[in-house]
Amino acid sequence: MRLTVLGCAGSFPGPESACSAYLVEADGFRLLLDFGSGSLSALQRYAGLHAVDAILLSHLHCDHILDAVSYVVVRRYAPEGAYPPIPVYAPSGAPDRLAAAYGQDDVAVSDVYQFYSLQPGTFPIGPFTVTVDRVNHPVETYGVRLEHAGRVLCYSSDTAPCDALLRLAHGADVFLCEASYLDGVDNPPDLHLTGREAGETATKAEVGRLLLTHLVTAWGSEAQTTDAAASTYAGPLEVVRPGSRYEI
Ligand SMILES: [Zn+2]
Ligand SMILES: [Zn+2]
């Protein structure tokens, strides 16, 4: 499978990146993991306006969903005619949240999105075997494990350290893991990971490669985060960029 980073800025768009959105492709099928602020722009640059077969929203924080609102216009009002509904796997509140953000009643986006409520477990999306589980974040949030042709990608979503994340990441070839917080400061609990914690999780889960994401550029330090992760994880690691592609 192939991973393309469309956006990787944590919490709000950064000067060089949209918020979280990751395109994962296999066998010609294109799954979008999260659809954060600004990422619809990057989707057109790195893939294509309609280069999506299904969407998975890990949780309903703005920085992971807001361009799914803009995307309603893209599909509903396409000059060539409205596109058929696209599957959206998301927490159960997604239909109301997206409709409210769009500004109409609660059926406002049902012509564009076919919603499926996420619950912990394993299920197929296209050619992928998908496992999701609740992680440690203040709202209903799912970490994601994608398997295809014997290869494994784990996406942390937003989370503080937790056992569910260790299980999802176990033995993954690539672990796309958030590292929002700096080490060495007094961070609030049960929200996000630091670089050190991302590295610790990667080591415990015995992953093959660590890709750090969801750094908050304005408040953080990429160098500090990378060094902190390298102090607890000896394998290959890097901070992802918009447009980065990885063959997994
Ligand atoms: Zn976030
Ligand atoms: Zn969040």
pTM score, whole prediction = 0.97
CA pair distance 74, 114, nearest whole angstrom: 16
CA pair distance 117, 240, nearest whole angstrom: 29
Q: Which residue in this structure is represented by tokens 């997206």? A: 98
Give residue 59 CA to ligand 2 midpoint distance, Å: 7
CA pair distance 201, 151, nearest whole angstrom: 19
CA pair distance 24, 2, nearest whole angstrom: 6
Across the 248 residues of the chain, what is the mean pLDDT of every consecutive 10-residue run? 98 96 98 98 96 98 98 96 97 94 78 97 98 98 98 98 98 98 95 98 98 95 97 98 97
* Nearest alpha-carbon partner for 153 in 166, 171, 136, 178: 171
* Nearest alpha-carbon partner for 177 in 120, 122, 235, 129: 235
Model pLDDT for residues 28-75, shown as the tens digit of each residue? 999 999 999 999 999 999 999 999 999 999 999 999 999 999 999 999
CA pair distance 62, 212, nearest whole angstrom: 20
Could you list which residues have their CB under 5 Å from ion ligand 2? 61, 158
Structure tokens at 159: 């989370």
Q: Which ligand is nearest to the CA of 216?
A: 1
Q: Report the pLDDT value the prediction gives residue 108, as an integer from 0 to 100.
A: 79
Q: Which ligand is nearest to the CA of 59?
A: 2
Can you spell out the DSSP letters for 91-138?
Answer: -TTHHHHHHHHHTS-TTTTTTTEEEEE--SEEEEETTEEEEEEE-BSS
Give residue 178 CA to ligand 1 midpoint distance, Å: 9
